[in-house]
Amino acid sequence: MSKKVKGIIRRMIVIFLMVCAGSGFYMFNAQNLVGNAMPMPFGIGAAVVLSGSMEPSLSVNDLVIVKEQESYEADDIIVYQEKNYLVIHRIVGMDGNMVQTQGDANNVVDEPIDLGNVKGKMIARIPNMGIMIQVIKTPVGIFGLLAAAVF
């Protein structure tokens, strides 16, 4: 391999590591200092399904891509923040600024939430990708990712 190609590869690895470190720093600050369970730079975020409340539409460990919306309507699958955790449920009703949601597998409607707690609407789902995301969030996963980038 020529020196020029090796130089390009090194630069790409450094840029990748800088992006990973910068986004990790941003996410850490948003989550721990501000209390934002799902930071959404550029209006797009991701969440991992942790329970079976949305079966069969969403399964545990699915990765859900979420986008902020100007408005929401019944039947949209949304992610909202409740205290310091995220909930992924379907809108079953709206009354002004209050939204009623329910998991597809649940028999009971959730307590109404304020529209301000809604992070966004699901725009895509990647089955089982959440497993990888959960692993990458661990110290071993971060070290493995960095080691793979270096090698």
Domain ranges of the chain: 3-35+135-150, 42-129
pLDDT higher at 32 or 61 = 61
Indicate whether 134 pLDDT > 80. no
Count H helices, E strands: the chain?
Answer: 3, 7
Residue 120 tokens, joined: 């966004």
Task: Indicate the SS3 state at residue 88.
Answer: strand
Q: Return the DSSP state at 115.
A: G
Would you say the pTM of this structure is higher than 0.75?
Answer: no
The first and second tokens of residue 14, run together, are 């450094």
In CATH, the number for domain 42-129 is 2.10.109.10
pLDDT at position 151: 66
pLDDT at site 50: 86
